[in-house]
Chains A and B, each alone.
Chain A
Amino acid sequence: MTTDIRHSTGSGLFGRLRSLTARLTAPQNHPLLLPLCAVGLALLVCFIAIWLTGRDPIAGYQKMFLSGLGTLRGLGDSSVKASVLALTGLSVAVAFAAGLFNIGCEGQLVAGAIASAFVGQAIHPGTAWIHLPLALLAAALAGALWALIAAWLKVRRGVHEVISTIMLNWTAIYLVESWLVTGPLSARSETGNSLPGTAQIDPTAELPRFFGQRSDLGFAILLAVVAAVLVWCLLHKTWLGFEMRASGNSAETARASGIPVERRVYLAMAVSGACSGLAGAVLILGIHHQYPAVFRTGYGFDGIAVSLIGGNHPLGLLLAACFFGVIRTGGAALQLLHIHRTFPELIQGLALLFIAGRAIMEHVFLRVHERASAAPENPENTGGDAPEKGTKVTQKSEISAPGGQEAAREARSAQGGE
């Protein structure tokens, strides 16, 4: 869809504002406008929610944003949360690129977490150069294997991945938390009694931190950034990535052009699961240093939110992950105002809800765009039907109504075609 906007000149602040609005809401800007508006609206709704419950929203937002950035410790917490969110977000985005909806990040994360906790305490190579990569590799492998079950079920048995990954989530959670961690892998005290969680990992398996005990700022965020770059390269710079995206766009077309779609499904799910597995490893090797007795993260579902808010693009979702990492760290500070620390998750959930309603938002953008670009000051904008001066109001509605409907229909058919 192309739009031709000629900007009116010399019609004062109002005209300039109008042309700016027209330019901002042009269809090519929607991919950027949509997540910004979704997050902005979510922040607004939550602001009002705090105000309605009789607490101070300005102080709340100040605390929420500043405590995650203001101190070295806060920055460290934010960076770990951001990297976990980014890795699960990447997991969702890779699968999306290949036309798969991986809802099973949570289960793959748990699989990766237990694998890294196991390797972290079971082997003792004595040097971080061997131990840490092995622990990370184990996590990535475990996550990938767990995701491959869903891929196999899809390719060989025709099971939709959304259903199978949900079932695999709970299977992983219960098998790990109510069996492995309390049974075979539980830590033992000197007297042989089982202790909560698995044994502590060796210091050589811990993710290095830049400032020692003072902050968790360290390798976690680097790992997430490297993973994002690698995923971007895989998807957009390699033949394999092209074939994955082609399979995602239209499996039939891809198959007709000789792409082994099934193998690309396996690859996409394996990479996706590996990212989620690494997210689990970051939590274990970076923060807990054992698989704790209580470890219900919910980060898996957050990955869906982060990926979609970031436009399913590695860079976009990295930014989204940083934003939510910061405010989720700030959630702890909200408790001073008697707001539950999960409050930032509400912002995240609402933002996802607004993304789910993207068709509505795009409809509104288009209407605004039509209104603003069909300004009476620049009648040439409307093509041949240049209105005469004098009856501005009625003309405006005449011009914008059919154009708006047409654009909306076009947008809707584009939506349906996705």
Chain B
Amino acid sequence: MLAFIEAVIRSTLDFAPPIILAALGGVISERSGVVALGLEGMMRLGAFFAAVGALATGNAWAGLSLGILAGGIAALGHAWLSIRWRSDQIISGVAINLVAMAGVTFLVEAMYGNTDTAGSATIGRVSLAFLKDIPILGTLCGHTWLTWIALAIPVAMHVLFYRTSLGLRILAVGEKPAAAATLGVSVSAIRYGCVIASGLLAGMGGSALSIATLDRFSNHMPAGQGFIALAAVIFGKWTPLGACSAALFFAAANALRIGLESSLPSLHNVLPSGIMLALPYVLTLLVLAGFIGRSRSPAASGVPFDTEKR
């Protein structure tokens, strides 16, 4: 039993980083007032370009940088459309997803003649060998650096939001942009920064799929994880620590499902995997509906800011 729990914790910590990172991207973008529907596409770009970078240089960290950059550039486009041109953020988010989906498939085929890339270098692992023999805590050893980065960033973002003036400005811009602008805060600068940060984070999340969880880009990536991340944003009530916990919870549910399916194949008849897979989304709907707690989106999320309208 202990071995089973340890295995579930271990794979949770392996599954979670992409979701946590993308969800944090969603949090920072939405808290500044820009809807984050393009997470899935940005993750896909990150996953692909991280593999490209890792293959080209043989260095996983160079790949990670390229993956992060790719997500950031996609987000810059999204920011430019939705802030400078006040475009419909939902449409441009969906467009990013569609372009990333088909565009990356085209690029993989053009560059590698296949739908997957070859195996590449992966992000190194943190051994923490001294914990190895302690029960439960032993599960913390041997994860990649990205796992620890993904666990550290939520704390950093929490401090940013609630302990710094910049963070308070971000929250103000997402709730009442007109009031923030009156106080001399540049709404568009804050939003540009936050949307680009969301792309960098989603790109990092995508990179975690292709150079940490796996050692190559595979064409099914990210297989809806961008949308799970969006669910985690809502389930976590648009806060960094909440979104991180929600992402960990969804990853744990997934790890539990896989663990149970391999150790108890007959369970499928009692509790089909489809129900387990749908669980994160159903729970998110229940939270949204107010059956479990209440989740409220930032007031100005999705509304372009117009200086001429107060």
Contacts and interface: CB of A to CB of B under 8 A. Distances in A.
Interface of A: 49, 53, 101, 103, 153, 157, 159-160, 162-164, 166-171, 174-180, 182-183, 298, 301-302, 304-305, 308, 338-340, 342-343, 345-346, 348-350, 352-353, 355-360, 412-413, 415-416
Interface string B78-108: 0001000111101110111111011101101
22 contacts: A53-B110, A157-B290, A159-B288, A166-B231, A167-B231, A170-B228, A171-B278, A178-B273, A180-B274, A183-B269, A298-B101, A339-B109, A342-B102, A345-B101, A346-B105, A348-B102, A349-B103, A353-B92, A356-B81, A356-B95, A357-B87, A416-B86
Interface of B: 35, 37, 81, 85-88, 90-92, 94-99, 101-103, 105-106, 108-110, 113, 115, 224, 227-228, 230-231, 234, 268-269, 272-275, 277-278, 281-282, 284-285, 288-290, 297, 304, 306, 308-309
B98 A352 contact: yes
Given A163-B288, A167-B284, A345 B102 contact: yes
A175 B91 CA distance: 27
Contact of B92 (A101, A298, A302, A356): A356
Contacts of A302: 98
B309 A159 contact: no
The 4 closest A-B pairs by CB, nearest first: A179-B274, A349-B98, A178-B274, A346-B102
Contacts of B109: 338-340
Contact of A171 (B35, B108, B281, B297): B281
Contacts of B224: 170
A349 B278 contact: no
Contacts of B94: 103, 301, 304-305, 352
A101 to B, nearest CB: 6
Contact of A175 (B35, B105, B274): B274
Given A153-B289, A171-B281, A416-B309, A343 B106 contact: yes
A358 B110 CA distance: 30
B103 A357 contact: no
B306 A353 contact: no
A53 B234 CA distance: 41
B281 A168 contact: yes
B86 A346 contact: no
Given A353-B95, A356-B95, A416-B86, A179 B272 contact: yes
B227 A182 contact: no
A308 B282 CA distance: 29
Given A157-B288, A356-B88, A360-B85, A343 B113 contact: no
Given A159-B289, A179-B272, A166 B230 contact: yes
Given A163-B234, A178-B274, A342 B285 contact: no
A415 B81 CA distance: 13
A299 to B, nearest CB: 12
Nearest to A418: B88
Contacts of B272: 178-179, 182-183
Contacts of A360: 81, 85
A397 B273 CA distance: 67
A171 B274 CA distance: 9
